Amino acid sequence: MSNHHQLLIIGGGTAGIMVASQIKKANPSFDIGLIEPATTHYYQPAWTLVGANTYDFDKTARSMSSVMPKGVNWIREFADKFDPENNSMTTKNGNKYTYDYLVVCPGLRMAPELVKGLTEAMDKGVVCSNYTNPNHTWEVLKNFKGGTALFTMPTTPIKCGGAPQKIMYLADEHFKRTGVRDKTNILFAIPGGVIFAVKPIAKTLMTVIDKKDINIRFFHKLVEIDAKKQIAWYEIDKDLDAGGCVIMSDDDTKTLDKDIQYNYKAAKTTKKGDRYGIHFDMLHLAPPQASPEFIANSPLATPEGWLSVDDKTMQHKKFSNVFGLGDVAQLPTAKTGAAIRKQVPVVVANIFKMTESNALANKTYDGYSSCPLVTGYGKMVLAEFDYSKEFKPDPKLKQFPLMVSDSSKEHWRLWILKKYLLPYLYWNKMLKGVNV
């Protein structure tokens, strides 16, 4: 193969650094430019643990220059406009870059503006989020004196769908330690009708919910946060796709439709038209998340604004020399680092094959993703699944020391995996181009 293939990568997160590392490792002469304005690279999976005071935030951050593979040209600018017909793109500074191959993986963006009042409330007072400021989450948990602890999530796709509930399980244990749990009702308000889409995992999680005495409220679509009055406003939407609403009378404590909740706990509520407000004494939420605007407004996007790629080959559906992966890609699976771990080798194999014969390799992505579901201090379940949403443990992970025979059940060894082994693998293997 000729040595001067120009590859341009958009994004220096997990996906961008891994693609650059694996390509450089296999063919050091590949000419790679990587566009990434941030100077810090974060290991975000540990932020759940930071929010519960069992991991140091500073240890989740490293300088971008320290993770950038040697020989990669780091372009410290914001990507702006794509011109895929002419194999070029322009940055916000107006600099134009051309490429033979383009890999798009800028991740997603937090979009608190999609819920009224959230932008103002975010990470202030008793409103917290591990997605944006896990240190503030810990302040909120530490200062909580009892009442209604509300945990919630948006209707948009989010990074790691399990994260909004992991912190809830840790909070429950922390409240027990500090003696406020018996003065507390924990509520988990979610937009869907199940706690987790993978059945064996959902079964385990429901036993955790029972054990911890948590109230789940299903079909709750978060529409507004009133930080001053400490009310989270919802529309109760039994079928979020079809928009059919569940009707409630004003005295909802008696009539809140029993099939939209589990393990009812009283909480002060207010009704306003078809909106239903839950009063909280603390609120942890995953903010709504969206595709970066420069992707959503580009010729590379689907009508929903995400990157349009084939869900098996990761090749763009319209432009054959463009590939996309990670959180920005519109794929019917969970947006996690574990998914990226399986997507990267497919993208890399396809790029190499394209340089040789303008065809794709026979390597495909099956939708594998995993969600390490922390269920308490020292306990974890590992949800692994693919496009089928069936529970499918990765045989590669099975070979790890400490792995358990059934990772759909809570185990302390899985906690060790989450807290110690995965961060080690991330910094020392994954980002260095080792295929783990």
Tens digits of per-residue pLDDT, 194-236? Answer: 999 999 999 999 999 999 999 999 999 999 999 999 999 999 9
Give yes or no: residues 171 and 29 share one domain. no
Give yes or no: residues 14 and 58 share one domain. yes
d(CA 167, CA 170): 5
What mean pLDDT do residues 27-50 have? 97
Instruction: Give burial (CB, 10 Å; 0-12/13-18/19+) of 425.
Output: middle
CA angle, 125 then 379 then 397, to 5°:
115
Give yes or no: residues 133 and 268 share one domain. yes
Give yes or no: residues 243 and 296 share one domain. no
pLDDT tier at 250 (50, 70, 90 boundaries)? Answer: very low
The domain tally of the chain equals 2
Confirm if 53 and 417 have CB atoms less than 8 A apart: no
CA angle, 365 then 371 then 375, to 5°:
165
Give yes or no: residues 205 and 132 share one domain. yes
Has this prediction a pTM greater than 0.75? yes
Q: Which domain holds residue 36?
A: 6-108+291-366
Helix, strand, or coil (residue 380): strand
Mean pLDDT, all residues of the chain: 93
Tokens for 349, please give them: 């194999």
Give 368-402 pLDDT, tens digit per residue: 999 999 999 999 999 999 999 999 999 988 887 76
Give 283-311 pLDDT, tens digit per residue: 999 999 999 999 999 999 999 999 999 99
Tokens for 384, please give them: 């692994």
Q: Which residues are catalytic?
A: 160, 371
pLDDT at 400: 76
The residue with greater pLDDT, 284 or 252, is 284
Place of tokens 């993978």: 198
Instruction: Give burial (CB, 10 Å; 0-12/13-18/19+) of 116.
Output: middle
d(CA 148, CA 67): 42
Give yes or no: residues 231 and 243 share one domain. yes
Residue by residue, DSSP assigns 235-276 as EEEEETTTTEEPP--S-HHHHS-GGGEES-----EEEETTEE
Give 59-84 pLDDT, tens digit per residue: 999 999 999 999 999 999 999 999 99
Place of tokens 């020391």: 401
Give yes or no: residues 182 and 152 share one domain. yes
Pick the last residue of a domain from 285, 301, 319: 285
Confirm if 114 and 122 have CB atoms less than 8 A apart: no
pLDDT at 399: 81
- Residue 245: pLDDT above 60? no
d(CA 64, CA 41): 5
Give yes or no: residues 120 and 219 share one domain. yes
CATH code of the domain covering residue 60: 3.50.50.60
